[in-house]
Structure 1
Amino acid sequence: MNSKKWIKILLTLCALAVGFVGGVNYLVDPFDVFHTKILKEQFQINERFIKIEFLEKNHNKFDSYMFGSCRIGTTPPDVLNQYMNDANFYNFTISSANLYDYLLHLQYFIKKEYPLKNLYLEIDIDNMDNYGRNESDYLRKFHPYVLNQSLYSYYISYLTGFFPFNIRGKIELNIKRDDITTYSLETGIWGKPIKEKEIQENPLKFISEEPSFHIKNTRLIKNSSKLENLKALSEIVNLSKKNNINLIVFTTPYNKNMMDNFILNDYLEFLKEISSVINFYDFTGYNSITTNNTNYYEPSHYRENVGRLIAAKIFNDKSIDVPKDFGVLVTKDNINEHLENLRKQVEDYELEKNLK
């Protein structure tokens, strides 16, 4: 067989392989980019793409936004609408978001002249160890409009990519239907209906059977991205002032097991850096909410009731019983006292844990 025939065979096989991969990617649609909906339950979705796609057509329905990682995603916008006259919030929760995501999207919203009166911004403590976004992370790939790139090339990249884990995960979820996540594009929120039912019916059983509550973690996460985060947060504050945006900043109340991942001095340093840029509400630490596992689906994600308590504390809603140890308004004036209180809180928690 001559070389020309070998080349033709090779090219044919390559074309068939590309066609097969593209067909699987399109039909299974692991990130819900193509919206084929052949498999109903979604294992993962690229919220950065889907929500910009939605807002391009619907941004005039909203004038306020909730910015945060997936942790803020359980809080319905109506929780905030009730506290702010005439506000209409959209929950722009996006997976594993950090300050780079918030800055880039805020810049885009302003550039596109989205109505924007209020910005309710949640900062995760683990943001101190990361900044930016990896281009190879297809679950978290920005909408091309945000980066001023081609939509056509974007779709091609999702057709020709290799996503065995994501494809397998979506297929298995639609067969087993054991940990379904629901998504509401109209409000931006997500939910865990099966886990929610289990917690409500038998919280002690749920806690005992959720393995992530029983893992012993080590304090390894450092404050390694301080310069990038400080610069981004400062830019967000300046853009908010320049564009008359009411900016409200608060920190994520991680479950105690998640809190066990952070090096104490680095965690406290990160909080001090935030306070140097803006006043914020701090819900981190080991308090009556974060040490109660029934408030969480697992150590990383709190339930809707916690989001309601956060808002009640921030907006001073006396009709809701917010624990006294949950949430502190932190300023430049009280930051040192607050950090000392947190240090003692952590040390007391560690001592009690070691005595068990």
Structure 2
Amino acid sequence: MKIFLKKLAFFFIPIILYVIIVLSLDIFKIFKDYNNYYNQDITTLNRTYVSTKIFQKNKDSVNYDSFIFGSSRSQAFKTPIWKHYLPEKSVPFHYDAHSEDLYGIYKKLEFLDDVNSPINHALIIIDRAVLSGTIKRLNHLYINPVEFNDVSKYEFYSSFILANLNPRFMMAYADFYCFKTYRNYMKNYVRMDKYPDTFTPIYNDSYYGLAKEIKEDSLGYYNKLKQQGVFYQRPQESNITLEKTKREIDLLNKIKSIFNKHDTNYKIVVSPLYDQIPMEEEQLVLLYSIFDKDKVFDFSGKNNLTEPISNYFESSHYKPNVAKIILDSIY
């Protein structure tokens, strides 16, 4: 019996120690509450979770009533700028997520409705990738918080524990955490930008550090990305046609129902992406049929916004000056 207990101890003690380390480090910042979730941010956090925590922390004192939804591309739209187009007393919040999709946008709106938050104004930034995502995701970077009522606590926390079990990730994190030295092998596991992104604590805007790098040497920056193939020849033809689905139609109708309930003044923007691939006509017709046609604005394809590479940080994200032009044209 003693031998069995010793073997059992040898098996469980490392696991218990590992769990203690994971809980104490709280690498993905989901086991504790933080005043600043992005302080010393060396790993990518679950943006939906963090945004929801920031909203919950401030909603009673700040009284948010206007929201920007979308992927990280929506961060071109800054709440202080958007506020100029809203009634004077409006309080905006940027409720985006990494690689956001249609399902994620709907669940955020449903959550706001469930907690009786006003949704007086909404700005939804979409593209083909956003519309294609119509089911929940369980990856630790994209899984919804338990407050959204579509995952259990077990599913939520286990996704992060499993991510912590990746030996390469843990080695890279521990190495950087202890020695504060970035090594080449850490590229896929540790964030190390020349100028880190910054985040506003109340309105949840993100300001890309790349803007400082471009300001420092714009010519060198764009020449480097051209040589690396980041900025490629356009337009490119898409091999994939985004066809409408029953699930997509259902989610769009649910979003519209929430807008109707709250009498929301909303705008839907199809992003001007670098690839210049236009939104499918079938998708636009679908959007026009569900939402008010004068509330849907298509900036995709080849146009004066997508032509200059100087309008982009890289081939995925456009700059705030582009968003400002869009806001001027839709309000």
Same topology, TM > 0.5: yes
Matches of 1:269 and 1:110 in 2, distance apart?
Answer: 30
Q: Percent identity?
A: 20
The correspondence for 2:72, drawn from 49, 66, 70, is: 70
Report deviation, 1:201.
Answer: 3.3
TM value normalised by structure 2: 0.80
SS at match of 2:141: helix
Matches of 1:268 and 1:11 in 2, distance apart?
Answer: 63
8 Å CA contact retained: 2:70, 2:125: yes
Matches of 1:267 and 1:169 in 2, distance apart?
Answer: 42
8 Å CA contact retained: 1:131, 1:225: no
1:236 match: 255
The amino acid that maps onto 1:40 is Q
1:143 match: 145
Report deviation, 1:190.
Answer: 1.4
Matches of 2:129 and 2:216 in 1, distance apart?
Answer: 32
The correspondence for 1:221, drawn from 228, 240, 261, is: 240
> Unmatched 5+ residue regions in structure 1?
316-356
1:274 match: 287
> Unmatched 5+ residue regions in structure 2?
183-191
1:284 match: 300
1:121 match: 124
Matches of 2:150 and 2:134 in 1, distance apart?
Answer: 20
8 Å CA contact retained: 1:71, 1:300: yes
1:341 match: none
1:335 match: none
Return 224-233 or 46-55, whichever deviates more: 224-233
TM value normalised by structure 1: 0.75
Matches of 1:133 and 1:18 in 2, distance apart?
Answer: 31
2:329 match: 313
For residues 301 and 18 of structure 1, do their structure 2 counterparts lie closer, same or farther at Cα, with a shift above 3 Å needed? farther
Report deviation, 1:44.
Answer: 0.8
The correspondence for 1:110, drawn from 99, 102, 113, is: 113
Map 1:1-356 to 2 at 5 A: 5-6=3-4, 8-20=6-18, 22-24=20-22, 26-27=24-25, 29-30=27-28, 34=32, 40-60=40-60, 61=62, 62-85=64-87, 86-135=89-138, 137-147=139-149, 154-155=156-157, 158-159=160-161, 161=163, 162-164=165-167, 167=170, 175-176=181-182, 177-179=192-194, 180-193=196-209, 195-210=210-225, 211-215=228-232, 219-224=238-243, 226-256=245-275, 259=276, 267-278=280-291, 279=293, 280-315=296-331
8 Å CA contact retained: 1:21, 1:160: no
Matches of 2:311 and 2:31 in 1, distance apart?
Answer: 32
Matches of 1:140 and 1:205 in 2, distance apart?
Answer: 34
SS at match of 1:13: helix
Matches of 2:52 and 2:259 in 1, distance apart?
Answer: 20
8 Å CA contact retained: 1:22, 1:160: no
CA deviations on 1:152-207 (whole Å, 9 max, x unpaired) are 874465345424565567666964433533233322111222x2122223323212
8 Å CA contact retained: 2:243, 2:283: no
Matches of 1:33 and 1:125 in 2, distance apart?
Answer: 34
Q: How many residues align?
A: 305
The amino acid that maps onto 1:66 is I
SS at match of 2:267: strand
Report deviation, 1:25.
Answer: 6.2
8 Å CA contact retained: 1:22, 1:159: no
RMSD over aligned Cα atoms? 3.1
8 Å CA contact retained: 2:231, 2:309: no
